Amino acid sequence: MPIEIRVPMLAESVVEATVGKWLKREGDRVSVGEPVVELETDKVNAEVPADAAGVLQQILRTEGEVVRPGDILAILQESEALATDVQTAKATEEADGRATPVARKMAEELGIDLREVRGTGVGGRVTREDVQAYARLRQQVEESVVQKAEEEPVPPTVSMPSPPTVSVPSARAETRQRLSRRRLTIARRLVEAQNTAAMLTTFNEVDMSAVIALRTKWKERFQQQHGVSLGFMPFFVKAVIGALREFPQLNAELQGEELVLKHYYDIGIAIGDPEGLVVPVLRDADKMTFAQIEQAIAGFVEKARNRTLTLEDLQGGTFTITNGGVFGSLLSTPILNPPQVGILGMHRVQERAVVVDGQIVIRPMMYVALSYDHRVVDGREAVLFLVRVKQLVEDPERLLLEG
């Protein structure tokens, strides 16, 4: 009995997705609940499982194709007899069975034997790009042979034989990669942020001596008690919340001609991901302890690594913190995360010579950057906000006491 594998309802705000990668090929056996295909959405990737056990009879949507909830992705056949028929058909098709329909049609038009084409698709399947690459290579080889035949032979010397002259086509290799839906969304939102907001950035530097001393004193006990290490992020989360309380227009959203001030603190934490930056949200971060912040961030990193972040993890947020320092960045200009009007950029800690009480001393310093929407935040407030963050981070015991 044939069973249709359809695009599930993804989320309230997600109306379409892109077919990312087929995890099974036509003719493969599939167990109940086993992922068959991966879909890419604006925010997260989602695997579509099989509702029944059987054999994947037909794939109807190719990788890179845009689909919507309810669209049929593939046909699954529960019958054991059909499973045998599919395997037999694949065996008789030789190389054709491991090629996409588009690749087979292109190969037929170009007179290419698919058995000679190396597949780079899922399970070694031959794709359109593989056929195109083979056709280009074949043309280069043919041109090389013709050019070599037209050349006069060069007689080798007796004492020092010369290597044969071979004409190499002057072609440089290129690889085309389809951008994931997440990368396309990131690109669109970054351009949107620059085109819709009057974005400015102000900078300052923070003496990290007190934070580093506090971490050194308590890191072992903190690790033993809470199961996570004590990093810099909880200090900055708490300092940002303290500054947001004093400058609430940075914890706001511009809606038409109204500024919506948020009286809660959902802090987005930017996390690097192989497919692009993701920003999961610490909800009610003002009510979280240092340990809870570190545990939540560790959970987000693990989810990002396993590609299990949910839309709920990523939605919302009133202000964002990004730490380019973990990648070695000394100074950068963070871009706003719309519709938020402020984002704080942390950077690498570097020992520098600074003047303290008229004396030149070596201190571990960090540059910090605040990008803000100048439509609703004046330069004065932005500078004072960043100064307040600096003051709070440089006095971490006060942060611990005040929570």
Task: Kindly state the tokens that stand for 141.
Answer: 């080889």
**β strands within 195-289, DSSP E:** 199-207, 252-255, 258-261, 267-269, 281-282
Q: Please give the C-alpha separations between residue 271 and each of 138, 139, 304, 321, 325, in angstroms, as whole numbers.
A: 44, 45, 8, 10, 12
Q: How far apart are CA 76 and CA 316, in angstroms?
A: 38
Tokens of 145: 């042979």
Catalytic status, residue 395: no
- 189 token code pair: 């939102």
89: which strand partners?
none
Q: Nearest 10 degrees: CA dihedral of 286, 288, 291, 292?
A: -130
| Helix, coil or strand: residue 314 | helix
* Known active-site residue 347: no
Catalytic residue among 51, 96, 226, 374: 374
Rounded to whole angstroms, the Cα distance separating 26 from 124 reads 13
Q: Within 13 Å of residue 379, how many CA atoms lie on the same side as its CB?
A: 4
Residues involved in catalysis: 374, 378
